[in-house]
Amino acid sequence: MQQTKKQNHNQYEKFQEEENELRAQEEKIQAKIEEVAPNKNMKNIWIVKPGENTNRGVGITVETNVNEIKNIINSEGGGQRTFILQRYIENPALFKGRKFDIRVFALITSINGVLKCYNYLDGYLRTSAKEFNLKSFNKFIHLTNDAVQKKAEDYGKYEFGNKVTF
């Protein structure tokens, strides 16, 4: 009986230590977010991405509320997942009033310590289906992933497959 009480006490102390570590990490995250907090003319916009085992835009959200970001991080995977937090660029370069990303292809080889890079000369832009604005955080405005965009009502309205080659 005495041994069980001691074990429970030790487990409780370990739990308390882990909780304190998590609180310290949360405070560091909060401090970092506040460190890069916007000036009065900017919004506090963040992209939250799952860090592993996802692709095609799954799980990506655009958030403005720090508490909502904490909820996402704490609820998904019980703290066992990693997340990427990116400060949102509020005045991005636009293609015909819409967001885009650039896709180019390269192959880098290393043979006997000699690096070589081969670039494919063609590339393409992936465009969003909706005109850019910061009034709405609609994913069809802010995320250019093919898997996201192909579900948009305006997909392909401006360019075939929301792509522009160069």
- d(Cα 161, Cα 27) in Å, to the nearest integer? 43
Tokens in use for 20? Answer: 């304190």
Query: Helices in the chain by DSSP H: which ranges?
Result: 2-35, 66-75, 139-142, 146-149
Tokens of 131: 């005109």
pLDDT in tens, the chain (166 residues): 666 767 777 777 877 887 778 778 777 777 776 666 555 566 788 888 888 777 777 788 888 888 888 888 887 655 677 888 888 888 999 999 999 999 999 999 999 999 999 999 999 999 999 999 999 989 899 999 898 999 999 999 999 999 999 9
Scan for tokens 């304190």, then name that residue.
Answer: 20
Residues paired with 110 in a beta bridge: 115
> How many whole angstroms separate alpha carbon 9 and alpha carbon 16?
10
Domain ranges of the chain: 92-166
Token digits for 46?
């963040």
